[in-house]
Structure 1
């Protein structure tokens, strides 16, 4: 009788504990860069709070002259630490805290505009995660592919939450008002991209509308998956733009694609 032996790698080819190539190498450039990134972020947050309070850290509120802007009354009360993941990797930063006077003997916690409350990833990191998923990769592969860059900080739930946020932002973008856009020209074109639909990678045809403002600046107005380029599909897209307040353009630029004859 012949015995067949299979090693653990063959049985579990996608073992989550698999070692990454060069993962035990120390890179002084990466280490130095991340340390500088940490310092830059912390300095940016301190500067933002200084501007709000109109004084340096540990400084007193200066007496305002008539030609000066008075900062918001308040006081610092320590710092907190949080872990932030970006395209630079994952780093732990210190965030300053402050209480601002809100009237009637009440105070409110200062909120940074640069770092949102409970934010754990930069927008660039979220965009990278979402684009990897939209390129036709499932959540497990996205997690494994980005683990080396993000130091293993990207879990399946993070990928799913990031995608849901992107979907919410996308829906809001598609419903935004165009009434205040000074569009004078429209460019209509179709393109084919590869995306992930129903857990499968596939190619779809997208109909794209670009607006040109009076100063020559181009902005993206619409991107729709209408199945294919037809007269009915283009009409539906243009009707939607009109319903959202888009004014009649002076010129319409097309490339002779199907449905635009």
Structure 2
């Protein structure tokens, strides 16, 4: 069931995009995009928010809001204004498509963990020449973990889910300082009226009986009920 890295990331992206009618991915993308804008603004100004440095060239002077259209929906971001000069994120330059690239940054950050070099390379590919600091990478990845944890622990008892699809893919992930292959299992539910949503996902060393049992038990403990048919390969 192992897939190439690009296919595995694509599968994980599709799963998260489908989750919660796309709300999860929109929240994640919006947070990541806002963090990248703040990092570029700090590099332009010469100081982070509320920071005093000898390299400061100007000061923040409020923000202006902007809607960014992506394949996951419109994202509302805040662009810092400066007292002197002007600042506009290179990510949002005219005719630059950030949706696919930003998806890649988010997925690489989530799958590989806090890897400064990897995420910094992706950020530069997006067009942020100043790159991104290690602390900013850590914060973005921590925010991703928080959003995903909240989604994968939400109650499932609102309505019965008669049909459940189970699948898995393998991704390379950073674990205890080493890059290893990890199994990503995903459960997708379909209600009686045809509504489809990702019920949960988890990461483990391999698709063992104990890992699958633990994952499925967690779905039941969160309130999954009314299951009549489970669809899975092998």
- TM-score normalised according to structure 2 size: 0.53
CA shift for structure 1 position 184: 1.7
- Whose relative contact order is higher, 1 or 2, with alpha carbons under 8 Å and at least 6 apart? 2
Q: 1:85, CA displacement in angstroms? A: 4.8
Relative to 1, partners in 2 of residues 1:88 and 1:191: Cα closer, same or farther, differing over 3 Å? Answer: same
Superposed CA offset, 1:19-64 (max 9, x none)? xxxxxxxxxxxxxxxxxxxx9928xxxxxxxxxxxxxxxxxxxxxx
Match of 2:233 in 1: 255
Partner of residue 216 from structure 1, selected from 175, 184, 194: 194
Q: Is the CA contact (8 Å cut-off) linking 2:168 and 2:185 kept in structure 1? A: yes
More helix by share: 2
CA contact (8 A) 2:121 2:131 kept: no
Give the 3 Å change call, closer, same or farther, for CA 243–131 of structure 1 in structure 2.
Answer: same
Alpha-carbon distance between aligned partners in 2 of 1:160 and 1:40, rounded to the nearest angstrom: 25
3-state secondary structure, aligned to 2:162: strand
Give the ranges of 4+ consecutive aligned residues of structure 1 lying more than 3 Å apart after TM superposition: 82-87, 122-130, 134-137
SS in 2 for 1:245: coil
8 Å CA contact retained: 1:184, 1:213: yes
Change over 3 Å in CA distance of 1:123–1:177 after alignment to 2: farther
CA distance in 2, matches of 1:163, 1:170: 11
Show the 5 A alignment for 1:130-169. 130-136=106-112, 138-148=115-125, 149-152=127-130, 154-169=132-147
Q: Within 5 Å, which residues of 2 pair with 1:47-66?
A: none
Shift of 1:152: 1.9
Q: CA deviation at 1:216?
A: 2.3
**2:169 maps to 1:191:** yes
Q: How far apart are 1:240 and its partner, in Å?
A: 0.9
Distance change >3 Å, CA 123–CA 81, structure 1 → 2: farther
Counterpart of 1:232?
210
Cα drift, residue 89 of structure 1: 5.4
2:148 pairs with 170, 176, 192, which one?
170
User: Partner residue of 1:129?
Assistant: 105
Q: Which runs of 5+ in 2 are unaligned?
A: 1-63, 68-79
| Residue matched to 1:41 | 66
C-alpha contact 1:130 1:159 (8 A) present in aligned 2: no
Gaps of 5+ in 1: 1-38, 43-79, 91-121, 257-261
- The Cα of 1:134 is off from its aligned counterpart by 3.7
1:177 to partner: Cα distance = 0.8
Query: 1:84 and 1:255, CA in 2 relative to 1: closer, same or farther beyond 3 A?
Result: farther
**Which structure's CA Rg is the greater one?**
1
SS in 2 for 1:183: coil
Deviations 1:136-195 (A, max 9, x none): 482123213422512425222211110011111122112111111442201122221222
Q: What TM-score does the superposition give when structure 1 sets the normalisation length?
A: 0.48
Mapped to 2, the partners of 1:172 and 1:160 lie a distance apart of 18
CA distance in 1, matches of 2:170, 2:162: 27
Aligned partner of 1:206 among 176, 181, 184 = 184
